Structure 1
Amino acid sequence: MKPQLKTKFLKPALEVVEPSFGSSFAYINFSRNANLKAHVWHYHPEVELVFVNGGSGKRQIGSHISYYTDGDLILIGSNLPHCGFTDDTTGNMNEIVIQMKPDFLGDSFMQLPETKSIAQLFTRARGGIAFGPQVRNALGSKMDKMAKQQPFERLLTLIAVLHELEKTDDYKVLNAEGFSLETQVQDNDRINMIFNYVKDNFREPIALEDVSERASMTVPSFCRYFKKMTNKTFVQFVNEYRVVHACKLLAEKPIPISEVSYESGFNNFSHFNKSFKEVTGKSASQYRKELHAHLE
């Protein structure tokens, strides 16, 4: 018998960030399995740069949900809600988190001809940015070396890393243009309630009528509202969340694909196959085969 649906909804928690000693920004190098925040939905005014050194896991940033393999390099804009990227099954070597105020270099400095592109990078990061493997490997190693640098040298390295991130074309903005959770308080509370509801209950059937009622809206009004806020339909969002969880199970557990389908909230196997291909561009069996070939 499946558990009852949860009815308690949590807003994203405000994380208070303190700069590292002698620095204008926070730099933390976590050893493997030390930063277990994959379940924590939070936000902060600081821009966050995260390097996951190896391993695989789930990204949830704003309304975007995806699964990464072989590490990750992510830039998250100011006040963009997100979950952590690692848990005890990720298998990463370490994780580096750098958090800085958008104006940590000073407004005048950020308007210099040599540095104003960094301000543009921070603006682009409002949707969340994932960088490709070449950039990830090259800059991840620079971020790793910052652990042994003195504050001034560490600052210069960070500026150089941000400059390289701004120059590269090897990136993907994760949330559609125009997406932002920096809305009116009422909208913020409502959309966060919906995200938490899906996160807690995606394994169960989720009826539009039920979630519309929880949002105190009619079904048509809710559908228009959700599309306006996230640039995707609610059904699309739920299916993407379930498919990403299926990707995680395919990578981490040697269980039959039919069981992966059920554990991810799909009660209809043909619907699972169709949704999986729509989101990933391949079948579940092909995805698992290619992933294992890549890891061998």
Structure 2
Amino acid sequence: MKIQKEIIEFEEGKSFKLFSPSLKNCFFWHYHPETELVYVEASNGIRHVGKNISDFKDSDLLLIGSNVPHLNFDYKIQTECKQLVLQMRENFIQDFIFSVPEFDRIKKLLDRSYLGLSFSGETKHRVVEKLQRMKDENTFASFMGLIEILQILAQSDEVKELNTEDTRIKWFLNDKIRMGTIYDYIHENYDKAPNVNVIAGNVNLSTPAFCRYFKKQTNMTFTDFVNNYRINQAKLLLLQNSGITEVCFQVGFESLSYFNKLFKKYIGETPSAFKKKHLSKIAHP
């Protein structure tokens, strides 16, 4: 779970790239100097941008600023996840957007994109429609489409800031190394009994100090994070048509009733309802 710098390659003569990635088997922290607009369409998922960890349902539209570490948006949950990613050259933003007075609102949007911005409602609908059209347009038309999208986002009030402070890579390199160790431990032990005392010792903190540190970094308790992780692993197994009781114990729960209760709390429906609905969608798209 070490943070990796992603090297993005662009076609010659183009200021941005628009594509549909296939990242379902990847699970890693990454960052890049290019600003990124991501549309994810999935039954359920977790966004993890900077220090923010939060669920989304059905779809999400995110603007992620330069050098903000983030994880894949299906969080290793292999649903019928569709993504559209638009990445802008760093020099395009610096040399073109920031130097044009008429783009003042867009500049302000990009200035705060380091917080991670999630868009909803009509804004999301309009932007996704334009992204879909841009895939089939010529270079100039798609470029103008990008400018229109940035203006729509800049004027929108249907936006949520995911972080309250700077979480760009410089901050993460100073502090998130501990979090990488913690994520590794959770990933390796979520199906057993992750012990807060053990991981606290692994990062050279007392247990109370570790609990304060973890809550500050993730806005979740260690127990809540582990349970959230377990439930999302359970989703993966349910979508592979595993039995509910089998899944419950496979992801580390000792009580089926507690598993059902937590699953409904996090996902909004019971494991059986989730499995029936989403396996039906996959079988009959």
TM-score bracket relative to the smaller structure: 0.7 to 0.9
Matches within 5 A, 1:272-287: 272-287=259-274
User: Any idea what the Cα deviations from partners look like across 1:54-73, whole Å, max 9, x if unmatched?
Assistant: 5546434244153643x543
Distance of 1:121 and 1:37 partners within structure 2: 32
Distance of 2:140 and 2:218 partners within structure 1: 40
Paired position in structure 1 for 2:190:
202
Q: Which runs of 4+ in 1 moved over 6 A?
A: 292-296
Paired position in structure 2 for 1:84:
72
Paired position in structure 2 for 1:97:
85
- Which amino acid in 2 is paired with 1:91? E
Contact 1:180 1:229 in 2 (8 A): no
1:120–1:283: structure 2 CA closer, same or farther, 3 Å change rule? Answer: farther
Paired position in structure 1 for 2:228:
240
Distance of 2:55 and 2:39 partners within structure 1: 16
Contact 2:77 2:233 in 1 (8 A): no
Task: State how many pairs are aligned.
Answer: 279
Contact 1:47 1:101 in 2 (8 A): yes
Contact 1:37 1:84 in 2 (8 A): no
Contact 1:118 1:166 in 2 (8 A): yes
Paired position in structure 1 for 2:15:
24
Give the drift of 1:188: 2.2
SS in 2 for 1:104: helix
Give the drift of 1:23: 1.9
Distance of 2:142 and 2:101 partners within structure 1: 22
- Which amino acid in 1 is paired with 2:177? D
Contact 2:65 2:115 in 1 (8 A): yes
Paired position in structure 1 for 2:241:
254
1:48 aligns with 2:39: no
TM-score normalised by length of structure 1: 0.76
Name whichever structure is richer in helix by fraction: 2
Stretch moving more, 96-105 or 139-148: 96-105
Structure 2's unaligned 5+ residue stretches are: none
Give the drift of 1:219: 0.6
TM-score normalised by length of structure 2: 0.78
Stretch moving more, 116-125 or 207-216: 116-125
- Identity among equivalent pairs (%): 32
User: Any idea what the Cα deviations from partners look like across 1:43-63, whole Å, max 9, x if unmatched?
Assistant: 1122211234x5546434244
Structure 1's unaligned 5+ residue stretches are: 1-9
SS in 2 for 1:49: strand
1:107–1:222: structure 2 CA closer, same or farther, 3 Å change rule? Answer: farther
Matches within 5 A, 1:124-273: 124-132=112-120, 134-173=122-161, 175-178=162-165, 180=167, 182=169, 183=171, 185-250=173-238, 252-273=239-260
Paired position in structure 2 for 1:6:
none
